[in-house]
Amino acid sequence: MRLSLDLLDIMHASPVIPVIAIEDIDHAVPLAKALLAGGIRVLEITLRTSHGMAAIRAIAEQVPRAIVGVGTLTYGAQFSAARDAGAVFGVSPGLTAALIAAAKSSGLPLLPGVMTPSEVLAAREAGFHQLKLFPAVPAGGIGMLNAIAGPLPDVTFCPTGGISQETAAKFLACKNVTCVGGSWLTPRKAIQAGDWAHITTLAAAASALRPMSGE
């Protein structure tokens, strides 16, 4: 059964959304189960490898409690393919007219990437109020998020790029941050070794994150 959630509900479902690149399709389902066992339900499966779509389909079919999204959307044609594979939301590194049109026609909720205040304004004018600050740390990190919060209080963010277990809570303390994205939950060596217990431990630590006092 296909999940039907709006983007803000999805962002509230987990303090951390792991950014996942599947290099071996056989790893997709056990990885998803390991993350879910640690309390991380929202998964962004990127299209950075050739196994992305197949991994989305496998997880959607075999791990029904997971909220599966598709990442690294850069072409309009990817939206309908990802939706048909079982993705219930999409994430892009930026926002173009073609991506806006594809998001609307496919019905796939999109979390688009922005880096500057002008890009935030453009995304908001296009109807997007939940955005991904990307790459978060090079874009100004916590300082940028706090600066944007004043003039643009109706926009919420999932900062992604350069965030770690050690810094995630400080990002979560920003009043305009709902969740963060990161790849530290899925270290390549642990996946290749099939060390799912280690990934569950990382996921449990991430799911327990609470905001720290801001800087």
As annotated, the active-site residues are 44, 132
**Which H or E element spans position 17?**
strand 16-20
Which residues lie below 8 Å from residue 96, measured CB to CB, with a gap of 6+?
none
3-state secondary structure of 36: helix
Give ∠ CA 59-6-138 in degrees, rounded to 5: 80
CB atoms within 10 A of CB 105: 11
Q: Could you give phi then psi for residue 211, rounded to 5 degrees?
A: -60, 140
Which residues lie below 8 Å from residue 84, measured CB to CB, with a gap of 6+?
none
Which residues sit opposite 45 in a β-bridge? 20, 70
Contact 108, 76 (CB under 8 A): no
Give ∠ CA 177-174-44 in degrees, rounded to 5: 30
What is the 8-class DSSP label of residue 194? T
